[in-house]
Structure 1
Amino acid sequence: MKPIQDKERYTLSKIVSDNLRQYIVENKMTTGDKLPSERDLAEMLAVSRVIIREALRTLESTGIIIIKHGEGAFVNTDDPTVIFNHLLLFWEMNTEKTDELFELRHLLEKTAIEHIIANTEAEHLEELHNIMERMDKTTDPLSFKQLDIEFHRGLIQATKNQLFTQLTDIIVKYFSNAPHSQMDEADRMKTIQEHKLILEALKAKDKELAIQLLSEHLQYARKLKIEQKTRTVK
């Protein structure tokens, strides 16, 4: 890293945080690696330790590092939860993103179905079946919501792609923020029945039918989300 020039000081905190990101990348740092001390960083960049602390807090807020008091700042590359939660908040605040997110979710879960039919063993389908049965038995709206998330997460986990799973998980949470407590019994049974039909198509390795059923099911999730936003606006 090079020292910060005087003319750049009006955005020091941002510049320093950008420099620290670059330092992590250039030095191929991974989870658990410790950054230089505040004093060393201040000397390297020719700024005050106050600016260094602000930059470190910025990186911590995005989940890039973890600050342990009395120990220092450590790289955190294994857990993108904070970043994804920021995305979720951004999507919730931007009411125009629903259709785009629906299209993205459809593409991701469609890919997962193709992968399941081509590669998945019976044990994974049995896990999905168990989740579906628990949905059928529960009468608690919050439990129903969580099991619905687990079912779709289970579809994606079949790809065994961690980033794929993490991204889809946050999108599913976005749509699952629709108020399940306001679902009537007919809506609840419709959700369960659609899960059953998707699972049966997967067991039969009928890719076209499974994708068609998934599309119809996700349209329902989209409908709930739009209705929720409409009520919020009113």
Structure 2
Amino acid sequence: MDKQAVNHIVSITMTDQAERRLREYFVDKGYKIGDTLPKEMELAEALGVSRSVIREAMSRLRMLGLIDVRKRRGTVLTEPDVLGGMERILDPNLLGKNTLQRLFEVRLMLEMGLGDFLYPRIQPGHLKQLDNIVLEERAAQDKASLVRLDIQFHATLYEITGNPVLIRFQHMLQPIFQYVLDYREAIHQPGAAPRVTHGDLVDTLRRGNPASFREAIRAHFEHHFGLIG
């Protein structure tokens, strides 16, 4: 390995360290979201590294959404979009089968815990929405319609929680969930209804409680749990 290659590795390592130390520095100094940060030269002196290393580390933080450059204010600390980076790479065609399987399991975990958030927030209008989806399902004759309505039903459950992070995460995971199901060729065959149907889940939401809903949705997903390896 030549000297130039060695120097390149060292430079990258210093930038990695500077990125981590900058995050620690901002926390230690008590900077809050919206605060203006010191200039590059001041940060370089504080961390004992060159200005070029600081510039590259700050560029990384900006890509992560942790900082931004504002007109007449300079560089400010910003609240990152915690799901943004994941959203850009959650393409089932870019992920390995083991990762897809683990994400599939995460989706099942989320569904199992929905009951505690649904019961305090569900309204008659929500139940009507779910009833309408169930009626459409009963009239559906093809796989594409059943898949579409299945997605709509579960997306509606997440929307009822009123939690925008949870809703967005479910939307991100849906292509992964469907990809695994299609790959394993086990679910969404017309006529192969689960033991506990969507209609049963709506009845449980009307008359049950978080514990009974958890039991019902576990039974609804029994075929899905069979895919866990």
Provide TM-score, normalisation by structure 2.
0.62
Partner of 1:20: 22
Corresponding residue to 1:56 among 55, 58, 72: 58
Percent sequence identity is 24
Instruction: Say yes or no: does 1:170 pair with 2:177.
Output: no
What is the deviation of 1:14?
A: 0.8
Name the one with the larger helix percent: 1
User: RMSD of the TM alignment (CA)?
Assistant: 4.7
Alignment of 1:37-52 (within 5 A): 37-52=39-54
Structure 1 residue runs of 5 or longer lacking an equivalent are 1-7, 227-234
Partner of 1:204: 207
SS at match of 2:157: helix
Paired letter, 1:203: R
Partner of 1:232: none
Change (3 A) 1:153 1:92: farther
Structure 2 residue runs of 5 or longer lacking an equivalent are 1-9
Partner of 1:29: 32
Note if contact 2:44-2:54 (Cα within 8 Å) is conserved in structure 1: yes
Paired letter, 1:53: R
Asked which structure has the greater CA Rg, the reply is: 2
What is the deviation of 1:18?
A: 0.7
Alignment of 1:1-234 (within 5 A): 11-26=13-28, 27-30=30-33, 32-67=34-69, 72-77=74-79, 79-85=81-87, 88=90, 93-117=95-119, 119-129=121-131, 149=151, 151-177=153-179, 187=189, 194-205=197-208, 210-218=213-221
What is the deviation of 1:81?
A: 2.5
What is the deviation of 1:78?
A: 5.5
Partner of 2:6: none
How many residues are paired up? Answer: 216
